[in-house]
Amino acid sequence: MDTHSALYELGRRRLQSLRNLPKRHPHSLADKMAEFGLSRRDFLKWTAGVSSMLALPLPFSNLVAEAAELADRVPLIWLHMAECTGCSESLVRADTPNLDSLIFDQISLEYHETLMAAAGWQAEENLDQALETYKGNYLLAIEGAVPTANNGAFLTLGCKGRTGLELVRKAAAGAAAIVSVGTCASFGGVQAAYPNPTGAKGVHQVVDKTVINLGGCPPSEKNIVGTLMYFIMFGKLPALDIYNRPKWAYGARVHDNCDRRGHFDAGEFVEQFGDNNAKQGFCLYKVGCKGPYTYNNCPTERFNHHTSWPIQAGHGCMGCSEPNFWDEMADFERPLGRQTLHGLDATADTIGSVILGAAAVGIGAHAVASIFARGIEE
Protein backbone atom coordinates (compact mmCIF):
# COMPACT_ATOMS: atom_id res chain seq x y z
CA MET A 1 0.00 0.00 0.00
CA ASP A 2 1.43 3.43 -0.84
CA THR A 3 1.66 6.07 1.88
CA HIS A 4 -1.50 7.87 0.81
CA SER A 5 -3.61 4.69 0.68
CA ALA A 6 -2.33 3.69 4.13
CA LEU A 7 -3.16 7.14 5.50
CA TYR A 8 -6.60 7.08 3.90
CA GLU A 9 -7.28 3.69 5.46
CA LEU A 10 -6.10 4.98 8.85
CA GLY A 11 -8.47 7.94 8.54
CA ARG A 12 -11.37 5.76 7.49
CA ARG A 13 -10.93 3.48 10.51
CA ARG A 14 -10.45 6.40 12.89
CA LEU A 15 -13.65 8.09 11.69
CA GLN A 16 -15.54 4.82 11.99
CA SER A 17 -14.51 4.59 15.64
CA LEU A 18 -15.50 8.25 16.24
CA ARG A 19 -18.91 7.59 14.69
CA ASN A 20 -19.54 5.01 17.41
CA LEU A 21 -19.00 7.58 20.17
CA PRO A 22 -21.98 9.48 21.60
CA LYS A 23 -22.90 12.83 19.99
CA ARG A 24 -22.03 15.75 22.23
CA HIS A 25 -24.07 18.44 20.46
CA PRO A 26 -27.83 18.35 19.92
CA HIS A 27 -27.35 20.07 16.54
CA SER A 28 -25.51 18.74 13.48
CA LEU A 29 -23.02 20.69 11.40
CA ALA A 30 -25.67 20.90 8.65
CA ASP A 31 -28.08 22.61 11.12
CA LYS A 32 -25.38 25.14 11.99
CA MET A 33 -24.57 25.80 8.34
CA ALA A 34 -28.23 26.37 7.56
CA GLU A 35 -28.44 28.82 10.46
CA PHE A 36 -25.65 30.92 8.92
CA GLY A 37 -26.75 30.55 5.30
CA LEU A 38 -23.87 28.30 4.22
CA SER A 39 -24.68 25.88 1.41
CA ARG A 40 -23.56 22.33 0.67
CA ARG A 41 -21.51 23.84 -2.16
CA ASP A 42 -19.66 26.10 0.32
CA PHE A 43 -18.99 23.02 2.40
CA LEU A 44 -17.59 21.00 -0.52
CA LYS A 45 -15.35 23.90 -1.54
CA TRP A 46 -14.12 24.13 2.04
CA THR A 47 -13.37 20.37 2.29
CA ALA A 48 -11.39 20.51 -0.97
CA GLY A 49 -9.52 23.58 0.34
CA VAL A 50 -8.64 21.87 3.63
CA SER A 51 -7.35 18.74 1.82
CA SER A 52 -5.15 20.77 -0.45
CA MET A 53 -3.88 22.91 2.45
CA LEU A 54 -2.95 19.72 4.33
CA ALA A 55 -1.12 18.56 1.16
CA LEU A 56 -3.49 15.63 0.73
CA PRO A 57 -4.90 14.48 -2.61
CA LEU A 58 -8.47 15.43 -3.49
CA PRO A 59 -10.12 12.09 -2.47
CA PHE A 60 -9.23 12.96 1.13
CA SER A 61 -11.86 15.69 1.02
CA ASN A 62 -14.41 12.90 1.70
CA LEU A 63 -12.59 12.24 4.97
CA VAL A 64 -12.45 15.97 5.74
CA ALA A 65 -16.22 16.18 5.24
CA GLU A 66 -16.84 13.25 7.54
CA ALA A 67 -14.37 14.53 10.14
CA ALA A 68 -16.09 17.93 10.14
CA GLU A 69 -19.42 16.25 10.85
CA LEU A 70 -17.87 14.15 13.63
CA ALA A 71 -15.96 17.05 15.19
CA ASP A 72 -18.25 16.98 18.23
CA ARG A 73 -16.89 13.54 19.23
CA VAL A 74 -13.44 14.88 20.09
CA PRO A 75 -13.23 16.77 23.39
CA LEU A 76 -11.08 19.88 23.26
CA ILE A 77 -9.70 21.65 26.32
CA TRP A 78 -8.19 25.08 25.65
CA LEU A 79 -6.07 26.77 28.32
CA HIS A 80 -4.87 30.37 28.42
CA MET A 81 -1.46 31.29 29.83
CA ALA A 82 0.47 34.54 29.43
CA GLU A 83 -0.66 36.13 26.15
CA CYS A 84 -3.04 38.58 24.47
CA THR A 85 -5.79 36.14 23.35
CA GLY A 86 -5.08 37.12 19.75
CA CYS A 87 -4.91 33.44 18.78
CA SER A 88 -8.52 32.84 19.86
CA GLU A 89 -9.47 36.12 18.22
CA SER A 90 -7.85 34.98 14.99
CA LEU A 91 -10.24 32.05 14.96
CA VAL A 92 -13.48 33.46 16.28
CA ARG A 93 -13.46 37.14 15.46
CA ALA A 94 -15.13 36.93 12.11
CA ASP A 95 -17.83 39.40 11.17
CA THR A 96 -19.64 36.58 9.42
CA PRO A 97 -18.99 33.04 10.62
CA ASN A 98 -17.40 30.85 7.97
CA LEU A 99 -16.74 27.14 8.00
CA ASP A 100 -13.51 27.51 9.95
CA SER A 101 -15.28 29.23 12.84
CA LEU A 102 -18.22 26.82 12.61
CA ILE A 103 -15.93 23.81 12.91
CA PHE A 104 -14.45 25.39 16.01
CA ASP A 105 -18.02 25.66 17.34
CA GLN A 106 -18.78 22.11 16.33
CA ILE A 107 -15.79 20.57 18.04
CA SER A 108 -16.63 19.64 21.61
CA LEU A 109 -15.11 22.59 23.40
CA GLU A 110 -15.13 21.44 27.02
CA TYR A 111 -13.24 24.39 28.46
CA HIS A 112 -12.14 27.75 27.05
CA GLU A 113 -11.87 30.65 29.50
CA THR A 114 -12.69 33.34 26.96
CA LEU A 115 -15.61 31.68 25.26
CA MET A 116 -17.41 29.77 28.00
CA ALA A 117 -20.22 31.22 30.06
CA ALA A 118 -19.10 29.75 33.40
CA ALA A 119 -16.90 31.77 35.75
CA GLY A 120 -15.20 31.42 39.12
CA TRP A 121 -15.63 28.17 41.06
CA GLN A 122 -17.97 26.79 38.43
CA ALA A 123 -15.38 27.24 35.69
CA GLU A 124 -12.68 25.51 37.71
CA GLU A 125 -15.07 22.73 38.51
CA ASN A 126 -15.80 22.30 34.77
CA LEU A 127 -12.11 22.12 34.01
CA ASP A 128 -11.35 19.52 36.69
CA GLN A 129 -14.32 17.44 35.60
CA ALA A 130 -13.36 17.60 31.91
CA LEU A 131 -9.77 16.60 32.71
CA GLU A 132 -11.07 13.59 34.65
CA THR A 133 -13.94 12.52 32.35
CA TYR A 134 -11.96 12.67 29.12
CA LYS A 135 -8.61 11.52 30.50
CA GLY A 136 -6.46 10.05 27.73
CA ASN A 137 -8.83 11.23 24.97
CA TYR A 138 -8.90 15.01 24.91
CA LEU A 139 -7.04 17.30 22.62
CA LEU A 140 -5.28 19.98 24.65
CA ALA A 141 -4.75 23.40 23.07
CA ILE A 142 -2.68 25.91 24.99
CA GLU A 143 -2.44 29.59 24.14
CA GLY A 144 0.26 31.70 25.79
CA ALA A 145 3.65 31.18 27.38
CA VAL A 146 4.18 29.47 30.73
CA PRO A 147 5.92 31.64 33.35
CA THR A 148 8.30 29.40 35.27
CA ALA A 149 10.30 31.79 37.50
CA ASN A 150 9.50 31.60 41.24
CA ASN A 151 7.91 28.23 40.63
CA GLY A 152 5.36 29.73 38.24
CA ALA A 153 4.05 32.36 40.67
CA PHE A 154 3.88 35.06 37.96
CA LEU A 155 0.71 33.47 36.60
CA THR A 156 -1.98 32.14 38.89
CA LEU A 157 -5.44 31.28 37.65
CA GLY A 158 -8.84 30.93 39.25
CA CYS A 159 -10.11 30.76 42.81
CA LYS A 160 -7.78 27.96 43.82
CA GLY A 161 -4.78 30.09 42.88
CA ARG A 162 -3.16 27.33 40.84
CA THR A 163 -0.20 28.38 38.76
CA GLY A 164 -0.27 28.16 34.98
CA LEU A 165 2.72 25.84 35.22
CA GLU A 166 0.81 23.47 37.50
CA LEU A 167 -2.28 23.50 35.26
CA VAL A 168 -0.36 22.92 32.04
CA ARG A 169 1.48 19.95 33.55
CA LYS A 170 -1.70 18.47 34.97
CA ALA A 171 -3.65 18.90 31.71
CA ALA A 172 -0.75 17.62 29.59
CA ALA A 173 -0.56 14.39 31.60
CA GLY A 174 -4.02 13.22 30.43
CA ALA A 175 -3.99 14.65 26.89
CA ALA A 176 -4.18 12.52 23.73
CA ALA A 177 -2.31 15.28 21.88
CA ILE A 178 -1.07 18.76 22.76
CA VAL A 179 -1.13 21.78 20.47
CA SER A 180 0.63 25.03 21.33
CA VAL A 181 -1.47 27.68 19.61
CA GLY A 182 0.64 30.70 18.73
CA THR A 183 4.24 31.72 19.17
CA CYS A 184 3.85 32.39 22.93
CA ALA A 185 2.79 28.82 23.72
CA SER A 186 5.22 27.45 21.14
CA PHE A 187 8.37 29.37 21.97
CA GLY A 188 7.62 31.89 24.75
CA GLY A 189 6.77 34.83 22.46
CA VAL A 190 6.84 38.39 23.74
CA GLN A 191 6.85 37.29 27.38
CA ALA A 192 10.12 35.46 26.80
CA ALA A 193 11.79 38.45 25.11
CA TYR A 194 15.00 39.59 26.79
CA PRO A 195 15.35 39.89 29.79
CA ASN A 196 12.37 37.57 30.33
CA PRO A 197 11.75 38.44 33.98
CA THR A 198 9.01 35.83 34.49
CA GLY A 199 11.05 32.96 33.04
CA ALA A 200 8.38 32.50 30.34
CA LYS A 201 8.78 29.31 28.29
CA GLY A 202 7.08 27.44 25.51
CA VAL A 203 4.84 24.55 26.58
CA HIS A 204 7.18 21.94 25.12
CA GLN A 205 9.86 23.13 27.53
CA VAL A 206 7.78 22.34 30.62
CA VAL A 207 6.06 19.05 29.72
CA ASP A 208 7.58 15.72 28.77
CA LYS A 209 5.31 14.94 25.80
CA THR A 210 5.47 15.85 22.12
CA VAL A 211 3.84 19.22 21.49
CA ILE A 212 2.78 20.53 18.06
CA ASN A 213 3.85 24.15 17.71
CA LEU A 214 1.65 26.49 15.68
CA GLY A 215 3.93 29.49 15.37
CA GLY A 216 2.46 32.88 14.54
CA CYS A 217 1.44 35.88 16.62
CA PRO A 218 -1.29 35.01 15.95
CA PRO A 219 -1.37 31.92 13.74
CA SER A 220 -4.03 32.04 11.03
CA GLU A 221 -7.40 30.44 11.64
CA LYS A 222 -6.49 28.10 8.77
CA ASN A 223 -3.47 26.71 10.59
CA ILE A 224 -5.44 26.22 13.80
CA VAL A 225 -8.43 24.55 12.15
CA GLY A 226 -6.24 22.50 9.78
CA THR A 227 -4.36 21.07 12.76
CA LEU A 228 -7.58 20.25 14.62
CA MET A 229 -8.99 18.60 11.47
CA TYR A 230 -5.85 16.52 10.99
CA PHE A 231 -6.11 15.20 14.53
CA ILE A 232 -9.84 14.45 14.23
CA MET A 233 -9.23 12.64 10.93
CA PHE A 234 -6.19 10.59 11.79
CA GLY A 235 -5.86 10.67 15.60
CA LYS A 236 -2.15 11.37 15.23
CA LEU A 237 0.30 14.18 14.64
CA PRO A 238 1.17 15.39 11.14
CA ALA A 239 4.76 15.49 9.83
CA LEU A 240 6.63 18.19 11.79
CA ASP A 241 9.63 20.41 11.07
CA ILE A 242 12.64 20.88 13.36
CA TYR A 243 10.59 23.20 15.59
CA ASN A 244 7.65 20.75 15.70
CA ARG A 245 5.54 22.90 13.39
CA PRO A 246 3.34 21.02 10.89
CA LYS A 247 5.22 20.87 7.60
CA TRP A 248 2.04 21.40 5.59
CA ALA A 249 1.77 24.89 7.10
CA TYR A 250 5.37 25.87 7.85
CA GLY A 251 7.23 24.01 5.09
CA ALA A 252 7.96 27.06 2.92
CA ARG A 253 9.26 30.54 3.61
CA VAL A 254 7.00 33.57 3.40
CA HIS A 255 9.51 34.84 0.82
CA ASP A 256 8.96 31.75 -1.40
CA ASN A 257 5.30 32.50 -2.10
CA CYS A 258 5.21 36.27 -1.60
CA ASP A 259 3.31 38.32 -4.19
CA ARG A 260 6.16 40.87 -4.14
CA ARG A 261 8.84 38.28 -4.89
CA GLY A 262 9.19 39.35 -8.52
CA HIS A 263 10.23 42.80 -7.29
CA PHE A 264 12.80 41.30 -4.93
CA ASP A 265 14.32 39.30 -7.79
CA ALA A 266 14.31 42.41 -9.98
CA GLY A 267 15.95 44.45 -7.23
CA GLU A 268 12.95 46.79 -6.88
CA PHE A 269 12.61 47.86 -3.26
CA VAL A 270 10.55 50.23 -1.13
CA GLU A 271 13.15 52.62 0.33
CA GLN A 272 10.81 54.33 2.80
CA PHE A 273 7.23 53.69 3.85
CA GLY A 274 4.93 55.83 1.71
CA ASP A 275 7.39 56.41 -1.15
CA ASN A 276 6.53 55.88 -4.81
CA ASN A 277 7.97 52.37 -4.77
CA ALA A 278 5.63 51.51 -1.89
CA LYS A 279 2.71 52.73 -3.99
CA GLN A 280 3.82 50.37 -6.75
CA GLY A 281 3.91 47.39 -4.37
CA PHE A 282 7.69 46.86 -4.51
CA CYS A 283 9.55 44.46 -2.19
CA LEU A 284 9.70 45.43 1.51
CA TYR A 285 13.11 43.90 2.29
CA LYS A 286 14.84 47.24 2.81
CA VAL A 287 12.14 48.39 5.22
CA GLY A 288 12.67 45.34 7.36
CA CYS A 289 10.75 42.44 5.84
CA LYS A 290 11.82 39.17 7.49
CA GLY A 291 10.02 36.98 4.93
CA PRO A 292 13.31 35.41 3.78
CA TYR A 293 13.92 33.98 7.27
CA THR A 294 10.36 33.02 8.18
CA TYR A 295 8.48 29.80 7.59
CA ASN A 296 4.71 30.19 7.33
CA ASN A 297 1.91 29.93 4.77
CA CYS A 298 0.55 33.49 5.18
CA PRO A 299 0.95 34.39 1.48
CA THR A 300 -1.21 31.47 0.38
CA GLU A 301 -3.73 31.13 3.22
CA ARG A 302 -3.88 34.76 4.47
CA PHE A 303 -6.03 35.94 7.42
CA ASN A 304 -9.63 37.03 8.08
CA HIS A 305 -11.38 34.81 5.57
CA HIS A 306 -8.48 34.95 3.13
CA THR A 307 -8.78 38.76 2.92
CA SER A 308 -5.23 39.93 3.49
CA TRP A 309 -1.92 39.37 5.25
CA PRO A 310 0.85 41.65 6.56
CA ILE A 311 2.81 42.11 3.32
CA GLN A 312 -0.32 42.68 1.27
CA ALA A 313 -1.23 45.36 3.80
CA GLY A 314 2.10 47.09 3.14
CA HIS A 315 4.31 46.14 6.11
CA GLY A 316 7.15 43.64 6.03
CA CYS A 317 6.87 40.26 7.70
CA MET A 318 8.08 40.48 11.32
CA GLY A 319 9.02 36.81 11.50
CA CYS A 320 6.25 36.16 13.99
CA SER A 321 6.17 32.38 13.54
CA GLU A 322 9.86 31.90 14.40
CA PRO A 323 11.34 31.14 17.84
CA ASN A 324 12.65 34.26 19.65
CA PHE A 325 11.46 36.59 16.91
CA TRP A 326 11.13 39.52 19.33
CA ASP A 327 14.86 39.37 19.99
CA GLU A 328 16.19 37.82 16.79
CA MET A 329 14.15 39.68 14.17
CA ALA A 330 14.02 43.18 15.70
CA ASP A 331 14.30 45.95 14.60
CA PHE A 332 11.17 45.20 12.60
CA GLU A 333 11.54 48.04 10.12
CA ARG A 334 15.18 47.55 9.20
CA PRO A 335 16.88 44.65 7.47
CA LEU A 336 18.79 42.34 9.77
CA GLY A 337 21.97 42.97 7.85
CA ARG A 338 22.21 46.55 9.10
CA GLN A 339 22.38 45.51 12.71
CA THR A 340 25.43 44.78 14.76
CA LEU A 341 24.04 41.51 16.15
CA HIS A 342 24.40 39.78 12.79
CA GLY A 343 27.11 41.92 11.26
CA LEU A 344 26.96 42.72 7.59
CA ASP A 345 24.28 41.12 5.48
CA ALA A 346 26.84 39.11 3.51
CA THR A 347 23.97 37.22 2.01
CA ALA A 348 20.44 36.93 3.33
CA ASP A 349 20.95 33.16 3.02
CA THR A 350 23.73 33.11 5.58
CA ILE A 351 21.64 35.02 8.08
CA GLY A 352 18.65 32.78 7.44
CA SER A 353 20.66 29.67 8.13
CA VAL A 354 22.09 31.13 11.35
CA ILE A 355 18.67 32.09 12.68
CA LEU A 356 16.76 29.08 11.52
CA GLY A 357 19.44 26.50 12.07
CA ALA A 358 18.51 25.10 8.67
CA ALA A 359 21.13 23.76 6.31
CA ALA A 360 19.95 25.54 3.21
CA VAL A 361 17.67 28.52 3.13
CA GLY A 362 18.22 29.37 -0.48
CA ILE A 363 17.52 32.83 -1.83
CA GLY A 364 18.44 32.46 -5.50
CA ALA A 365 22.02 33.47 -6.18
CA HIS A 366 20.83 35.80 -8.93
CA ALA A 367 18.60 37.60 -6.44
CA VAL A 368 21.45 38.06 -3.98
CA ALA A 369 23.60 39.33 -6.83
CA SER A 370 20.85 41.76 -7.80
CA ILE A 371 20.73 43.11 -4.26
CA PHE A 372 24.46 43.75 -4.32
CA ALA A 373 24.27 45.28 -7.75
CA ARG A 374 21.82 47.83 -6.32
CA GLY A 375 23.56 48.20 -3.00
CA ILE A 376 21.21 46.90 -0.33
CA GLU A 377 23.50 48.19 2.40
CA GLU A 378 22.91 51.70 1.01
Q: Where is the binding site for [3Fe-4S] cluster, in residues?
A: 298, 317, 320
For residue 301, count other CB atoms closer than 10 A to its CB. 19
How many chain residues bind ligand F3S (CB under 6 A)? 12
Burial of 336 (0-12, 13-18, 19+ CB in 10 A): buried
Find all residues with CB under 8 Å of 36, minimum gap 6, and list them: 96, 97, 102
Task: Please select the residue that binds ligand F3S; options are 233, 318, 336, 367, rule is CB under 6 A.
Answer: 318
Sign of the CA dihedral running 244, 246, 247, 251:
negative
* 3 state DSSP class of 143: strand
Q: Which does 158 bind (CB under 5 to 8 A by kind): ligand F3S, ligand FSX, ligand SF4, none?
A: none
Question: Helix crossing, 40-53 with 61-69: angle to 10°?
Answer: 120
Q: Which stretch binds ligand F3S (CB under 6 A): 52-60, 230-238, 309-317, 348-356?
A: 309-317
Question: Helix crossing, 99-106 with 61-69: angle to 10°?
Answer: 50
Nearer CB in complex with ligand SF4: 188/299: 299
Q: Does 87 bind ligand F3S (CB under 6 A)?
A: no
Residues 283 to 342: which contact ligand FSX by CB under 6 A? none
Residues 274 to 293: which contact ligand SF4 by CB under 6 A? 283-285, 289, 291-292
Helix, strand and coil content of the chain, in percent to the nearest 5, comes to 45, 10, 40
For residues 198 to 237, the per-residue mask of contacts with ligand SF4, x marking binding by CB under 6 A and - elsewhere, is ----------------------------------------
Residues 317 to 336: which contact ligand SF4 by CB under 6 A? 317
Nearest distance from C-beta of residue 51 to ligand SF4, angstroms: 27
Q: Does 164 bind ligand FSX (CB under 6 A)?
A: no
* Rounded CA Rg of the chain: 22
Task: Please select the residue that binds ligand F3S; options are 49, 75, 152, 216, rule is CB under 6 A.
Answer: 216
Q: Does 330 bind ligand F3S (CB under 6 A)?
A: no
Find all residues with CB under 8 Å of 112, minimum gap 6, and list them: 78, 88
Q: Does 323 bind ligand F3S (CB under 6 A)?
A: no
Q: Does 310 bind ligand F3S (CB under 6 A)?
A: yes
Phi-psi region of 339 (alpha: psi -120 to 50; beta: other; left: phi over 0): beta
Q: Which residues bind ligand SF4 (CB under 6 A)?
A: 254-255, 258, 260-261, 264, 283-285, 289, 291-292, 311, 316-317
Q: Which residues bind ligand FSX (CB under 6 A)?
A: 83-87, 143-144, 182-185, 189-190, 217-218
